[in-house]
Amino acid sequence: FIKIEGEYVVAGAGVKLAKFVDFCIENGFRGVEMMAGIPGTLGGAIVMNAGAYSAEISDHLVDVDVIRDLNLVRLKKEECGFGYRTSNLTKDVVVQARFKFPPGDIEEMKRRRREILIKRNQVQPVNFPNVGSIFKNPPGNYAGKLIEEAGLKGIQIGGAQISEKHANFIINKGNATASDVLELIK
């Protein structure tokens, strides 16, 4: 579910991130359009503090409801320990989240989303199932660039391959197992 409650957008953890982005744009809420094209659910995006283009899902988060120690708990953003692609929610089950976004121009946000999707499609292996960016970017550098410089682009174990298009992506060539992916990560 996704709904507007007063000045907030409230959404369930199982909502696809793409649907959340579209809902916010269509309702004039600015601040998540750069998440266009990131796979997965809102809950997963919150736990890992997904981000792109200098923005993170936590930027406009107000609070999140989680199941912690078999209890439903509402945590304020400040209690979630958000950092670069991390939070302290990894042992919790995210149920829903509440956001407060500034207003935005719908047509401008649609244009920005379109630009981001075109750029992603040009540089990321969207034609194969993949697990997204694998490694965090080290300060001042890019993981994909370092993997490519190490000569690992295209290396394959079983059905999993380091993408020849973007080296920070592991793609499924058709029959990859979790073990194949883990071996490539190692």
Spell out the domains of the chain, with CATH numbers in brackets. 2-106 (3.30.465.10), 124-185 (3.90.78.10)
- pLDDT(131) > 80: no
Q: What's residue 150's pLDDT?
A: 96
Mean pLDDT for 3-29 is 97
What Cα–Cα distance (Å) separates residue 132 from each residue in 38, 54, 127, 171, 186? 8, 17, 12, 8, 16
Long-range contacts of 85-91 (CB under 8 A, 24+ apart): 85/48, 85/49, 85/50, 85/51, 85/136, 86/48, 86/49, 87/46, 87/47, 87/48, 87/49, 87/58, 89/46, 89/47, 89/64, 90/47
pLDDT band with cut points at 50, 70 and 90 for residue 39: confident
pLDDT > 90 fraction of the chain, expressed in percent and rounded:
88
Q: Which helix (H) or strand (E) holds 18?
A: helix 17-26
Question: Who's near 59: CB < 8 A, 6+ residues apart?
Answer: 31
Q: Mean pLDDT over all residues of the chain? A: 95
